[in-house]
Structure formats: C-alpha cells, structure tokens
Chain A
C-alpha cells in the first residue's frame, strides 16, 4: 500500500492492533473447539473439481477442510455428524452487500475520493449479521456504494456475528466502485450521466499523468545518482537534485487499478452505460466488473469480447426504480421521487421489459464470468442468495450454474476463491447443511459452519 497521511496511518495502526487483539480472542475462543469434525452420508455439492458427491464425507480440522471424498476413515475422538438425506453446499458468497454498514451511511458520503476504504467504516455489531448467516451466506463483499460517482474501495469479509467484534477480512481492496448512472436520486438526466463518465475518465487521465510524472522523476533521479558518483566532491554541491513530486493516495489507488491489481466495478443499467464502462476499461486497461447491468443480453457479444465479469439478477428491473411511491417492498415514500423526476421516457409500461428468460441460457455458453447479486441494497437481502439462485435456475440455466453464481463463481470474481466458494481440501470449512435439495426453495437450512465451527443451528 502507498503511504498514508498521518491520520490514515493512525487509523490503520489502531485497526491493525485491534485486529491482532481480536485475533487472539478469536484463537482463545475457537481454540477449545478446534477438535476435528466429520460430516458423513451427505449429498455434497463441492463446486470444485469433484463436482457432486452423492454420498460423501468431509473432515474438518483447525477450521479448514482436511479431507473430502466418498470415504474417509474416521480419526479417533472425532465429532461425527451423520447427515443422511441432507445436502451440503459451500457457504454462500454474496458479491455485493451493505451488511456491516450503518443505514446507508456511505451512500451519502460527501467525499468523492477513490481511497475511501469501506473497512474504515464498518459496524462490527450490525444486528443483521446473524439473520444473513442463518440463511447460509458466510462471505460478503461490502460495497461502498455512494450516490456520487465514486464509491471507493470495497472489501470481502466473513459473515460472523459481531460478538467481541470478531471480524475476518478475506480481501482488503477487493474492488474499486464507480457508479456510471444515478437512479435512486432526485433530478437526474442523461447529461448528468455523461458528466459522470467524463469525471471518471478525467480521474484516470490525471492518474496516468501522475504516473508519468513519477516515472520521469525516477529516471531523473537515477541519472542524477549516476552522475553524482562520477563527479568530484567539489562539483557535487553544484548538481541540483530533481524535485520529488507529491504523493497522492487517491491516484496511487487508480494506478493499482490500471495495473489490474484492483478490479474496477461499474454500476450500470442501460446499454449505453454498459458500453461506456467497457470503453473506460479498454482505454485504461482495467479489469472490469459490471454490476446490475440489466440490459446485458443486448450486448452479450461485446461483454464476451471484453472478457468482463457480470454481477446481476433476473429480479432486477431498473425501470421500476423510479416509481413515484418508490419500489414497493420499500416503505412508502422511501425514495421520494416524483413523476417529473422520471427520465426514462417509457412511462406507460414500467415493468414492460421482456423477462428475457431465454437469454440467461446463453450466458452459460459465453465466456462471461457471472455471479448473482441481490436486487436491492438492503442489508438483509444478502441472505436470500439461495432464493435468487433458485429463481435463476428457472431461466434455462443448469442448477450447477445457478449454484455456482452464489458460491464458486462469486468467490472467483471477488478474488477469494483460494479460501471460500468451494469445498476442497485446504479451503475454509464454511458450509451449509440443508434438509433437502440445494436449490429447492422449500428446503430449509439446518446448520451453518464458519471456519469449522457451528455458527448457526436450527432448533
């Protein structure tokens, strides 16, 4: 990470020491429970190379999956769970959520800086956490979405109840969030969207200049050092040291994005906005993740060509966002948008978009990496990933594709596939036990394990 200013450093070091302290508590709490656990006789969706084990076993040790397979000899003193008739799936991954955040506090942030880091604003005691966990979602990307055009840096964390402030960060700086379209705000227009595009582009261009400036400086400095060695002592004093440019935290982040160290997420809806995102990605060599992007079926070819990742949901429909009463399901007047604020001209049919059931099937064959996200920004929506996957699988995609969109594929897009998203040896023992088929909406969650510990059990 580049240098931070004084305050940033202070916050970071406090956070670090707090994290170490909490980790110690965590160890002491979990130390006692670090016995081995054996799950057997379950149907296991591994979401890895082993695909589906009809009658499989999982051995858990020290919070990790020690072994997984059709038959594992039970070590002595192991705690055994006989799961006849049950299904085991990996702990689910929600690729966009506002869990751990206070009521939309970041959405109204005044700063428009790429180095706004969501980790610095987490609410460790969010009461929503157990309610999401009990539905089998164990990992979330916390999205610093702002109504402004820059959200900032998001992070991937484990969904563990906030007691003792336990929180596990899987990936810091998991993505840089931008918004190319503002929909949930008053008074917005196409012109504004264009302005946002140019603001984002301007930022990246400044970052390119900044990079060039530093490259020039390092070049000059090298030459200066070389010459200094050759020259006599007397002449050395005459040589002028090149001036060091000022460090800029925000631009450093953008450079990391341009070096593909941090993926860039664009919240987009309409086809023209999707194309703008692709254009930005191409111009600055970004690794692009499109979030929402309801109109992707129109641009399937372009998306595949640009090899971007897509985060969407068949339940999304941007035309309904701007209804005068707000979208139902939100409290009345939640968005306070008037009819005159509508900028989509198609007033007559607010839900007229073809559900496009068949187009989802095409996604399976394309090279586009896809994961599901909740259709809204409410914290508890992160808990319904299995519902979204079930609904997706009624759209002509295979059940494995739908389940992958809330487990392994989501983990890959978030860059945490080495830890979570599939049940394979060496990975975190985050898993969900269901009393029925994995995607059957009627089956219920019976147990949720996080890091090998039973985090929730149905009473």
Chain B
C-alpha cells in the first residue's frame, strides 16, 4: 500500500500513451463547422432548421442554434438537408462470395471483418448511396454462419474502423439453408440439428471441441456473451425462430421478416426487433403493409439491404414505401438510421446526429426520401469520403 505509485506509474504511462494513440488514430484533429442545412437528427431533437454542427476530432462536439459563431473553418450547406449516415444492419458488401463457408452447416467461429475488402467497387457504391455503417454478416446458406461485425465503410482499408467486432451470431432458418443435397433438408431438421449441437456443447462433448469451426461461437451464445441474429422470412420460419429462442431462453433479432406482421403480438411480447428485407418487387403492397403494421404495433424495425443482393438505393426506397403508408418522413428515416443502430447495439456512436456521437452524415440536395434529390456529400468520422463535384 505504501508504494502504490510504483505499480500505478507504468499503468498510468500506458494509459496516457493509449489516450494519445486514440486521439491520433481518431484521425482529423481539425475542427470545423457545418452550417446552413436543415438537419434530420433521428434523435430526441427531431428536425432542426438552420443549425450549425461543430465537428471536432470526428465527433459532433456541439449543435449550435442561434448566432454563436466559433472561429473555425466553415462548410456552408445552405438550403441543403442533412441526415445521419445510413446504417445497413445486414450486408454482404464487398465480400459476397467470401462470407459462406461451405464445408459444414454450422460454422460458428468465423468473424466476418476478416474478409472485408475496402477496395471493392461495391464499397464506393454503398458510400455514394449514403451508407456509412454496415453490419457485415455471414450468408443465409449456413445454419450457423459465424459472427457478424459492425464497421464503418471506407475505400481505404487502413481507415476502416470496427465499431463492434462481435455483434451477433448469425443463425439461418431461411429457405436458403434447406437443401436437398445435404442435411438439413427441412426446417424442423434445421432447428433440431442446431439444438442438438448446442446441447452437446453445453454438455462439454469432446468431439465438438475438436471441430475447428464449430465450437466457440455457440459457446459464447450459451454463455450469453452474444445474441443471435436469426434469418427468417415466412410465418413458419419466424415461428420456429421464436420457439427456438424460447426453448433456449434467449433474446435475439429477426432478419428478413417478410410475414412478421402475422406474428406481431408475439414479437412484441417477447420484445424481438425485426430487420426487414428491402421492398419486394413481387408484392410491394403486401410488403409495405407488413412494415407499416409492425411499426404501428410499436415494434422496433429497421430496413436492411442485403447488398449486393439488392441495390443500395433500396434502403431509401423502403423508407419511402413506408412513408406512403402514412408514416411521417422523420419516422420513416429512423428505420434506416437510429433503429438499426439501436438493434445493433451501436446507437451510442452512430445512427443519429447528437452531441458526442460520430460525425457520420449525408448531405442531400432536397428531401432525403425524394428520389430526385442527389447526395452531395457523405461524411464518415468527420471526413468527407464522397463529395460531388459541381
């Protein structure tokens, strides 16, 4: 106790060093002001007309209403509209063919951030469409595909920042997992297989421990360190997913949810949020009613793109379809910003324009849900990663 500082000193030095690294790695130390635009905050303050955003070290330092003008460089976006960077909570961007391990049906160990490729043109396309944060997920073809990672997009691999390395364990009860040439060949088979595997791991089976792919993801699921993200679209698939969650006494998130409105009471009771597939051209009307019903029931919903399976525009298009179901534009925009951020558990840093959050935002020419409006600039961590000339 006497010489407490002896042991504390190295720790303090390391701490200070880390702080330095953090500030340095945080990139832009520059401070600037974004002003003139109308801002959809997706936060508690709603829509703010004519405010200035003070950006410092890649964060929103202050939202200034009124005449106060700090003496920093100014970026003038008068007459434009700013909204938070879009959050795509289910994306295969840049790594579509690398996100499927075909040797086993259950491959729970993989973490997706290993295969993200910043140089892929899809990344630029996503950025140009306003998507700044993605949850990179394993594909639906595996029963347990692996662990998803939340990251910020950048064309420069060194600048790609991981927001949450292990966001979910991806489980699929979707049609794609059922195949005739290997087990499982049915939905009930899939559910049974998964439960059996988890029981074996729980019992500490040696055989399961030997398998290089299978053990740890499911183990952390059983420990409660990670939540499942379950791909389920039809009524039966969602029902199976909910039953399975109940059996294992877990909470989780449903992705797909094309018929989720038929189970909205159950989903509400169990407090299971739903990440919805983007607008389905085969039955857009039914799709829109499904989304609007879930929203009306007070469930947390977010739209995802499954990019590259769907166009990145599909996020805005989906929100637009919801708007035409009688939801206000502000509420509709939340389904592609703060709602998915909350579902992913990263709402403390992304998904809304609020003091202390990351400076990730999109500048539009006009209303964000008017498809005529072009995107003028996209900012990630305070850096303009896309800017339209002229």
Residue numbers of A with Cβ under 8 A of B are 131, 315, 317, 320, 323-333, 339, 347-355, 374-376, 378, 380-381, 383-384, 387, 390-391, 393-394, 399, 439-442, 444
Of A320, A324, A387, which is within 8 A of B371 by CB? A387
What is the CB-to-nearest-CB distance from B167 to chain A, in angstroms, rounded to a whole number? 20
Question: Can you list the 7 inter-chain pairs with the closest CB atoms, starting with the nearest?
Answer: A328-B309, A352-B121, A351-B308, A332-B175, A390-B371, A328-B310, A328-B306
B277-291: contact bitstring with A at CB < 8 Å (1 yes, 0 no)?
111111111000000
What is the chain B residue whose CB lies nearest that of A402? B372
Given contact pairs A315-B313, A351-B122, A387-B371, a sample of 14 additional A-B residue pairs in the complex whose CB atoms are under 8 Å apart: A325-B176, A331-B280, A349-B120, A351-B308, A354-B121, A355-B128, A378-B282, A380-B281, A381-B281, A387-B320, A391-B371, A394-B373, A441-B320, A441-B371
Write out the residue numbers on chain A whose beta carbons fall within 8 Å of the beta carbon of B323: 442
Let me know if B236 is at the binding interface, CB within 8 A: no
What is the CB-to-nearest-CB distance from B352 to chain A, in angstroms, rounded to a whole number? 22
> Are B372 and A441 in contact, with the CB atoms below 8 A?
yes
Q: A350-B122, A378-B282 are in contact. Are A441 and B369 (CB under 8 A)?
A: yes
Q: A349-B121, A444-B324 are in contact. Are A317 and B311 (CB under 8 A)?
A: yes
Residue numbers of B with Cβ under 8 A of A are 94, 96-97, 117, 120-122, 125, 128, 139-141, 174-176, 233, 258, 277-285, 305-314, 317, 320, 323-324, 329, 367, 369-374
* A442–B285 CA distance with the chains assembled, in angstroms: 17
> Are A329 and B96 in contact, with the CB atoms below 8 A?
no
Write out the residue numbers on chain A whose beta carbons fall within 8 Å of the beta carbon of B310: 327-329
* A399–B175 CA distance with the chains assembled, in angstroms: 42
Q: A349-B120, A441-B372 are in contact. Are A332 and B308 (CB under 8 A)?
A: no
* A448–B59 CA distance with the chains assembled, in angstroms: 49
Q: A325-B309, A328-B306 are in contact. Are A351 and B97 (CB under 8 A)?
A: no
What is the chain B residue whose CB lies nearest that of A436? B370
What is the CB-to-nearest-CB distance from A438 to chain B, in angstroms, rounded to a whole number? 10
What is the chain A residue whose CB lies nearest that of B309? A328
> Are A378 and B370 in contact, with the CB atoms below 8 A?
no
Q: A332-B174, A441-B369 are in contact. Are A324 and B279 (CB under 8 A)?
A: no
Residue among A332, A347, A380, A387 with the most chain B CB within 10 A? Answer: A332
Write out the residue numbers on chain B whose beta carbons fall within 8 Å of the beta carbon of A381: 281
Q: A339-B97, A355-B128, A387-B317 are in contact. Are A441 and B370 (CB under 8 A)?
A: yes
> Are A380 and B285 in contact, with the CB atoms below 8 A?
yes
Write out the residue numbers on chain B whose beta carbons fall within 8 Å of the beta carbon of A442: 320, 323, 329, 367, 369-370
What is the CB-to-nearest-CB distance from B269 to chain A, in angstroms, rounded to a whole number? 27
> Are B313 and A391 in contact, with the CB atoms below 8 A?
yes
Write out the residue numbers on chain A whose beta carbons fall within 8 Å of the beta carbon of B97: 339, 347-348
What is the chain B residue whose CB lies nearest that of A377? B281
Write out the residue numbers on chain A whose beta carbons fall within 8 Å of the beta carbon of B125: 351-352, 355
What is the CB-to-nearest-CB distance from A374 to chain B, in angstroms, rounded to a whole number? 8
Write out the residue numbers on chain B whose beta carbons fall within 8 Å of the beta carbon of A317: 311
* A442–B374 CA distance with the chains assembled, in angstroms: 15
> Are A332 and B176 in contact, with the CB atoms below 8 A?
yes
> Are A394 and B120 in contact, with the CB atoms below 8 A?
no
Residue among A131, A354, A383, A442 with the most chain B CB within 10 A? Answer: A442
* A374–B281 CA distance with the chains assembled, in angstroms: 10
Write out the residue numbers on chain A whose beta carbons fall within 8 Å of the beta carbon of B175: 331-333
Can you list 17 A-B pairs with a CB-CB distance of less than 8 A?
A: A329-B282, A331-B282, A332-B176, A348-B97, A349-B94, A349-B122, A350-B308, A352-B120, A352-B121, A353-B121, A374-B281, A378-B282, A387-B320, A390-B371, A391-B372, A393-B372, A442-B323
* A107–B320 CA distance with the chains assembled, in angstroms: 31
What is the chain B residue whose CB lies nearest that of A331? B282
Write out the residue numbers on chain A whose beta carbons fall within 8 Å of the beta carbon of B313: 315, 391
* A378–B279 CA distance with the chains assembled, in angstroms: 13
Q: A329-B314, A332-B175, A387-B317 are in contact. Are A394 and B372 (CB under 8 A)?
A: yes
Write out the residue numbers on chain A whose beta carbons fall within 8 Å of the beta carbon of B141: 324-325
What is the chain B residue whose CB lies nearest that of A391? B371
Residue among A131, A327, A374 with the most chain B CB within 10 A? Answer: A327
Write out the residue numbers on chain B whose beta carbons fall within 8 Å of the beta carbon of A391: 313, 371-372
What is the CB-to-nearest-CB distance from B153 to chain A, in angstroms, rounded to a whole number? 14
* A131–B174 CA distance with the chains assembled, in angstroms: 29
What is the chain B residue whose CB lies nearest that of A353? B121
Write out the residue numbers on chain B whose beta carbons fall within 8 Å of the beta carbon of A349: 94, 120-122
* A352–B124 CA distance with the chains assembled, in angstroms: 9
Of A315, A325, A327, A440, which is within 8 A of B372 by CB? A440
* A347–B281 CA distance with the chains assembled, in angstroms: 25
> Are B324 and A330 in contact, with the CB atoms below 8 A?
no
What is the chain B residue whose CB lies nearest that of A348? B120
Write out the residue numbers on chain A whose beta carbons fall within 8 Å of the beta carbon of B308: 320, 323, 350-351
Q: A350-B96, A444-B324 are in contact. Are A380 and B284 (CB under 8 A)?
A: yes
Write out the residue numbers on chain A whose beta carbons fall within 8 Å of the beta carbon of B282: 329-331, 378, 380
What is the chain B residue whose CB lies nearest that of A443? B370
* A387–B316 CA distance with the chains assembled, in angstroms: 12
Write out the residue numbers on chain B whose beta carbons fall within 8 Å of the beta carbon of A380: 281-285
Write out the residue numbers on chain B whose beta carbons fall within 8 Å of the beta carbon of A325: 139-141, 176, 309
> Are B278 and A390 in contact, with the CB atoms below 8 A?
no
Write out the residue numbers on chain B whose beta carbons fall within 8 Å of the beta carbon of A315: 311, 313
> Are A329 and B279 in contact, with the CB atoms below 8 A?
yes
What is the CB-to-nearest-CB distance from B185 to chain A, in angstroms, rounded to a whole number? 14
* A323–B310 CA distance with the chains assembled, in angstroms: 10
What is the CB-to-nearest-CB distance from A376 to chain B, in angstroms, rounded to a whole number? 5
Write out the residue numbers on chain A whose beta carbons fall within 8 Å of the beta carbon of B121: 349, 351-354
Write out the residue numbers on chain B whose beta carbons fall within 8 Å of the beta carbon of A353: 121
* A378–B284 CA distance with the chains assembled, in angstroms: 10
Write out the residue numbers on chain B whose beta carbons fall within 8 Å of the beta carbon of A375: 281
Write out the residue numbers on chain B whose beta carbons fall within 8 Å of the beta carbon of A323: 96, 308-309
* A347–B95 CA distance with the chains assembled, in angstroms: 10
Write out the residue numbers on chain A whose beta carbons fall within 8 Å of the beta carbon of B305: 328
* A444–B321 CA distance with the chains assembled, in angstroms: 11
> Are A352 and B140 in contact, with the CB atoms below 8 A?
no
What is the CB-to-nearest-CB distance from B136 to chain A, in angstroms, rounded to a whole number? 15
Q: A330-B280, A378-B282 are in contact. Are A394 and B311 (CB under 8 A)?
A: no
* A347–B312 CA distance with the chains assembled, in angstroms: 18
Write out the residue numbers on chain A whose beta carbons fall within 8 Å of the beta carbon of B370: 390, 440-442
What is the CB-to-nearest-CB distance from A85 to chain B, in angstroms, rounded to a whole number? 17
> Are A328 and B317 in contact, with the CB atoms below 8 A?
no
What is the chain A residue whose CB lies nearest that of B277? A328
What is the CB-to-nearest-CB distance from B332 to chain A, in angstroms, rounded to a whole number? 10
Q: A387-B371, A393-B372 are in contact. Are A378 and B281 (CB under 8 A)?
A: yes
What is the chain B residue whose CB lies nearest that of A325? B176
Of A320, A331, A355, A374, which is within 8 A of B309 by CB? A320
* A328–B311 CA distance with the chains assembled, in angstroms: 9
Of A332, A355, A441, which is within 8 A of B233 by CB? A332
What is the CB-to-nearest-CB distance from B360 to chain A, in angstroms, rounded to a whole number? 21
What is the chain A residue whose CB lies nearest that of B93? A351
Residue among B141, B283, B323 with the most chain A CB within 10 A? Answer: B283
Write out the residue numbers on chain B whose beta carbons fall within 8 Å of the beta carbon of A439: 372
What is the CB-to-nearest-CB distance from A176 to chain B, in angstroms, rounded to a whole number? 26
Write out the residue numbers on chain B whose beta carbons fall within 8 Å of the beta carbon of A332: 140, 174-176, 233
* A101–B110 CA distance with the chains assembled, in angstroms: 46
Q: A323-B96, A323-B309, A387-B317 are in contact. Are A330 and B281 (CB under 8 A)?
A: yes
> Are A329 and B277 in contact, with the CB atoms below 8 A?
yes
